[in-house]
Amino acid sequence: MDRTDMIGRFFGYLQDTFEKIAETQKEQLEAASSMMADCIRDEAEGRRLHIWGTGGHAAMIAEDALYRKGGFASVNPIVDPGLSLSHGALKTINGLFRVYGYSKAILDYRRVKSGDVLIIGMGIGVNVTTIEAALEAKARNVKVIAVTSRDLSNSVDINHPARHKSKSNLYEIADIVIDCFTPPGDAAMEIEGFAQKVAPAGNIFSLAIYECLVALTAEKLVKMGIKPKIWTNALAVGGVEANKAYMDQYYGICKNL
């Protein structure tokens, strides 16, 4: 790949980061997928697998898991309108990100309970809603898998008003941490003669990590002799009909269906 121009530099950066994740996070990916597979296996006992990007752009990780062909029907993606950019980016990032009690209300409403597994996707794992979600989950005996960036989290001033009052980082709370290696400031590319970096790419890595977990978890379930519940392409002929049983089963459980 020619890395002398912006196209080569950008896609080279993505390639390098993907390779870094594959080489350094393999143990964590395997452990997380085993935890997910065990949770799905025990679904009949009332256990549930949840995924939540705790606000702002990070919500994409849950949206990407929602009714997605090739993805798990048995996962509960938490997509909260109050923390969605489509309902007001400034309201979310400058406001509700910092409200105490909000995450607890969401976990209550989504019925996240003891024995469940919660994947939290948030590159900058410091804000109030993220830390409160992780702490509240742990208090409920819920296992937490974090997809986050240590470097990005550590770059935020310890006294920044957006931080949770505990001053904690998500990676310090979660049971399993998968580093997505989002750099401080998120943006990846430098332009000669321009002071600011451009092209934030953190969510590209977070989404890829989740889909890798889907593949690993499905593989483990098959090896257990369990057929994973996977959404069919709704745009294919018969796709909606093929999904109907899962729709009926999870409609009241997954509140975003």
- Cβ(77)–Cβ(255) below 8 Å: no
Long-range contacts of 196-202 (CB under 8 A, 24+ apart): 199/10, 200/57, 201/13, 201/14, 201/17, 202/57, 202/123, 202/149, 202/152
For residues 63 and 134, what is the distance between their CA atoms, to the nearest angstrom? Answer: 19
- Cβ(112)–Cβ(104) below 8 Å: no
What is the homologous superfamily of the domain 26-250 according to CATH? Glucose-6-phosphate isomerase like protein; domain 1 (3.40.50.10490)
- What average pLDDT does range 169-196 have in this prediction? 96
pLDDT in tens, 23-49: 999 999 999 999 999 999 999 999 999
For residues 66 and 102, what is the distance between their CA atoms, to the nearest angstrom? Answer: 22
Q: Which tokens is 24 given?
A: 């350094």
- What average pLDDT does range 219-228 have in this prediction? 97
pLDDT band at residue 89, thresholds of 50, 70 and 90?
A: confident
What separation in angstroms does the CA of 81 have from each of 3, 88, 92, 167, 255? 40, 9, 10, 26, 12
Q: Is the pLDDT of residue 94 over 90?
A: no
Identify the helix (H) or strand (E) that includes residue 223: helix 202-223
**What's residue 223's pLDDT?**
97
pLDDT band at residue 92, thresholds of 50, 70 and 90?
A: confident
pLDDT in tens, 111-130: 999 999 999 999 999 999 99
For residues 147 and 65, what is the distance between their CA atoms, to the nearest angstrom? Answer: 14
What's the mean pLDDT when you consider all of the chain? 95
**What's residue 2's pLDDT?**
82
